[in-house]
Amino acid sequence: MRRLRELLQRLRDDESGVTAIEYGLIAGLIGAVLIVALGTFGDRIENVFDALTDRLDDAENQIASEQTTR
């Protein structure tokens, strides 16, 4: 987070307009790539976390049932 803040401060202080425009274009491109990636892989990522949640719930239930039988 600190590095991002420093980058933004450098961009703000940069008086060589071309460099600032290039940074802006790069930031826009990164944003577009993130949106496309999340749109493409969003369902797969959700399925992975759902499966993980199910396994953790099963493990928790198994531990709870073992503790009640003791």
Q: What is the pLDDT of residues 33-56, one digit of tens each?
A: 999 998 888 889 899 999 999 999
| pLDDT value of position 70 | 67
Provide the whole-model pTM.
Answer: 0.46
23, 26, 32, 58, 67 from 1: Cα distances, Å: 17, 18, 20, 36, 43
pLDDT of residue 16: 67
Instruction: Give the whole-angstrom CA distance, residue 4 versus residue 9.
Output: 9
Can you state the angle between helices 17-68 and 2-13, rounded to 10 degrees? 170
Per-residue model confidence (pLDDT) at position 67: 85
User: Residue 25 — very low, low, confident or very high, per pLDDT cuts 50/70/90?
Assistant: very high
Closest to 11 in 3D by CA, of 24, 29, 2? 24
* The pLDDT value given to residue 68: 82
In the chain, the number of structural domains is: 1
Q: Which domain holds residue 45?
A: 2-68
